[in-house]
Chains A and B, each alone.
Chain A
C-alpha cells in the first residue's frame, strides 16, 4: 500500500469540504472510517470529548442520523434548506507517519451557513486525522475548533 503524498492529503481535505458544500452527504459519510468521529469542541483548547461537553462529538451512527434528517419530509427546520460555503487555506501537514498509518492536517477556514435571509459567518480551524484503509484515505477524526467556540451561537445545521 502506497503512503499518501502531501498532495493527496491536501486534495482529500479540499474534496471533503466540496462534498459538504454540494450536499453530497452520502459520499461525505463514506470518507469516515467505521470508527471515525466528527468533533466540535465547546472549549478553547479542549482535550477531552467525554467529561467536558462539546458542540458535537459524533460517530458514524449520529452523523448518519443527521444526514437522513436533512432529507426528511417533516424536517421543518430544513424547509427551506440551509446552504453552506467553505473557504479553506491550504491544509498544512502536521504529521505524516507512515508506520503508524496516521496523517494529520491543519486547515484554517471560513464557513458560511445560510437559510432564508440569514447568513452566518464562522471562522474555524479544521484538524483532520486521516488513515489509509484499503488503499483509500479515511477520516479517523475531524476536529473543528471555532474561533468563537464558547459564544452564544445560533443554530448550526450543516457540517463545517
Chain B
C-alpha cells in the first residue's frame, strides 16, 4: 500500500520543527521518492573537470541512482549525459573513466554518438528508411542531463526543470568552493591521489548529518583519537611537536567548548558549514614555501584572508561535502535506504608544494578510508542507528539542540557550534525539494 507517493502532505508531516520521522531513513517508498524528486530537483555534484581534461574524456558516476557520465566535448565544454544507448538501453561506458576518441560507439550494435550525445551514425541505416525513425526517441541520441553548471571546475547537474537555477540554489554557500580554489596560487585544482570508496550499511543522510554533528567527536572518537594522543604521549614523553598523524587525530577529541566556539553558519536550501571561527584544521603546521607563494600570487592581505578561513565541513545539500582547508570532498551516494557509498576525493593545489597534497592524503587515509579507525567509530554509530530505528516504541529522531522558533524567519545565520539548526535546515530543504514536484 502506498503511504507517501503523490501525497505531499504525508511527506511534509515526516519533518516536524524539532523531530524527523524514522521513515526518512528506513522506508523504501520514501527512498524511491527521494530518487525521483529530491535528487531530480536539486543540483547534484557530478565531478571535477580536471577528471576529463581532454576532448573525448569521460567519467561515469550517478545522480541518485541514475547512471550518468561527464564528458568533455570537442569544443571543450563539459556535458553530462545519461549513460544509456538510446537504441536498446546498453550502458555506453562501464569503466569509471577513459577517452572515447572523437565519438562514443555503443558496444552492442555500433550506433555512434558525438561526445555531446547527438547521434552520429547507425550501421545499415537504410533499414530505417520510411520507418519514421525521425519521430523516435532513439534518433535524439544519448539524452543529456538538462541542466549543467561548471562552477570553477566543479560540475553540478540538475535533472528536472523544477527547482531553482544554480546561483539561486547555492547562493553564498559557493564561498567555500571559492576559498578552496583560491588556495592554489594560480586558482586551479586537480583531482589527485585516488578515490577512497567505503560502503556503509546506513542511510545516506546519516553521513551528511554527522558532518555537522559536533557533539559526537569527543564521545564516538575517544576510541581512535583519544587512544592516538595517549599512545603518542607514552611513546614520545615530553615531546611537544606532534607527528603529522597525531596532529590530524588530536582535534577530534577537543572538548565541547572548542566545538561550541567554532560556530556554524547556515544558508538557505539546506547548505551550511561548521568552523566559522576556527576548526579542527586550524592548528596544522605551516608547509614550507606555501605562504610565500600565496603572497606572491595574491598580496599579503588577500593571501592571509584566504588562509585564515578554516571551514571544517561545508554541506552542500543534498549529498556533497567539502573541506576547503585540506582540499578534500566527500560524496554520499545513495544505493538503498540502508546502503550508501561514501566516496572521498582529494585535490592538488596547482603550483603549491606537494606536501599539501601529502597531508591531505594522510588525512583522508586516517579518517575516511574503509581501513580508517575514525571511520570505524562513525560507521558503528550509523549502523546501530539504522537498526535501532526499527524499534516501534518511538518513531521520532530528535534534532532539537539549541532550537529557537525564530530561526524559521532567518535564511542565514552564524550560531553556536553545537546547534542542530543545520540539521533542521537540511530537513526543511529536504521537505521543500521532495514535495515541490510531488
Q: Footprint of B on A, CB under 8 Å?
A: 40, 42-43, 50-57, 61-62, 64-66, 68-69, 72, 74-77, 150-157
CB within 8 Å for A53 and B373 given contacts A61-B245, A68-B227, A77-B379: no
- Among B74-82, B286-294, B364-372, the one that faces the other chain is B364-372
Residue in chain A with minimal CB distance to B192: A51
Residue in chain A with minimal CB distance to B224: A69
Shortest CB-to-CB span from B250 to chain A, Å, is: 12
Shortest CB-to-CB span from A60 to chain B, Å, is: 8
B237 close to A (CB within 8 Å): no
Whether A153 pairs with B198 at a CB distance below 8 angstroms is yes
**Alpha-carbon separation in the docked complex, A67 to B176 (Å):** 37
**Alpha-carbon separation in the docked complex, A156 to B249 (Å):** 19
Shortest CB-to-CB span from B228 to chain A, Å, is: 5
**Alpha-carbon separation in the docked complex, A54 to B370 (Å):** 10
| Residue interface bits B203-227, CB-to-A below 8 A is 1, else 0 | 0000000000000000010111011
Shortest CB-to-CB span from B383 to chain A, Å, is: 9
B223, B231, B370: which contacts A155 (Cβ < 8 A)? Answer: B370
Whether B365 pairs with A76 at a CB distance below 8 angstroms is no
Whether B376 pairs with A77 at a CB distance below 8 angstroms is yes
Shortest CB-to-CB span from A111 to chain B, Å, is: 13
Residue in chain A with minimal CB distance to B201: A154
Whether A77 pairs with B380 at a CB distance below 8 angstroms is yes
B232, B371, B380: which contacts A55 (Cβ < 8 A)? Answer: B371
**Alpha-carbon separation in the docked complex, A122 to B220 (Å):** 28
**Alpha-carbon separation in the docked complex, A72 to B231 (Å):** 12
| Residue interface bits B363-392, CB-to-A below 8 A is 1, else 0 | 011100111010111011100100000000
Shortest CB-to-CB span from A124 to chain B, Å, is: 13
Shortest CB-to-CB span from A43 to chain B, Å, is: 6
Q: Which residues of A contact B371 (CB under 8 A)?
A: 40, 55-56, 153, 155-156
B89 close to A (CB within 8 Å): no
Whether A72 pairs with B358 at a CB distance below 8 angstroms is no
Q: Which residues of A contact B235 (CB under 8 A)?
A: 61, 64
B123 close to A (CB within 8 Å): no
B194 close to A (CB within 8 Å): yes
B361 close to A (CB within 8 Å): yes
Q: Which residues of B contact A66 (CB under 8 A)?
A: 373
The binding surface of chain B is classed by DSSP as: helix
Whether A42 pairs with B381 at a CB distance below 8 angstroms is no
Shortest CB-to-CB span from B327 to chain A, Å, is: 12
**Alpha-carbon separation in the docked complex, A153 to B342 (Å):** 10
Whether B358 pairs with A50 at a CB distance below 8 angstroms is yes
CB within 8 Å for A61 and B243 given contacts A56-B369, A69-B227, A77-B380: yes
Q: Which residues of B contact A43 (CB under 8 A)?
A: 194
Q: Footprint of A on B, CB under 8 Å?
A: 192-194, 196-199, 220, 222-224, 226-228, 230-232, 235, 243, 245-246, 249, 341, 346, 354, 357-358, 361, 364-366, 369-371, 373, 375-377, 379-381, 384
Whether A157 pairs with B358 at a CB distance below 8 angstroms is no
Shortest CB-to-CB span from A22 to chain B, Å, is: 21
**Alpha-carbon separation in the docked complex, A82 to B381 (Å):** 16
**Alpha-carbon separation in the docked complex, A151 to B197 (Å):** 7
Shortest CB-to-CB span from B344 to chain A, Å, is: 9
Q: Which residues of A contact B366 (CB under 8 A)?
A: 62
Q: Which residues of B contact A40 (CB under 8 A)?
A: 371
**Alpha-carbon separation in the docked complex, A155 to B243 (Å):** 25
Whether A157 pairs with B230 at a CB distance below 8 angstroms is no
Whether B196 pairs with A74 at a CB distance below 8 angstroms is no
14 other A-B residue contacts (CB within 8 Å) besides A53-B364, A57-B365: A43-B194, A51-B354, A53-B194, A54-B365, A55-B365, A62-B366, A69-B223, A69-B224, A72-B222, A76-B223, A76-B377, A152-B198, A153-B198, A155-B375
Shortest CB-to-CB span from B44 to chain A, Å, is: 19
**Alpha-carbon separation in the docked complex, A68 to B341 (Å):** 29
B232, B365, B379: which contacts A61 (Cβ < 8 A)? Answer: B232
Q: Which residues of A contact B226 (CB under 8 A)?
A: 74
Q: Which residues of B contact A68 (CB under 8 A)?
A: 227, 230-231
Residue in chain B with minimal CB distance to A149: B194
**Alpha-carbon separation in the docked complex, A51 to B346 (Å):** 11
Shortest CB-to-CB span from A42 to chain B, Å, is: 5
Q: Which residues of B contact A55 (CB under 8 A)?
A: 196, 365, 369-371
Whether B381 pairs with A76 at a CB distance below 8 angstroms is yes
**Alpha-carbon separation in the docked complex, A54 to B196 (Å):** 8
Cβ-closest 6 pairs across A and B: A77-B380, A153-B370, A75-B223, A152-B197, A77-B376, A53-B361
Q: Which residues of B contact A56 (CB under 8 A)?
A: 365, 369, 371
Q: Which residues of B contact A153 (CB under 8 A)?
A: 197-199, 370-371
A65, A68, A150, most chain B CB atoms within 10 A: A65
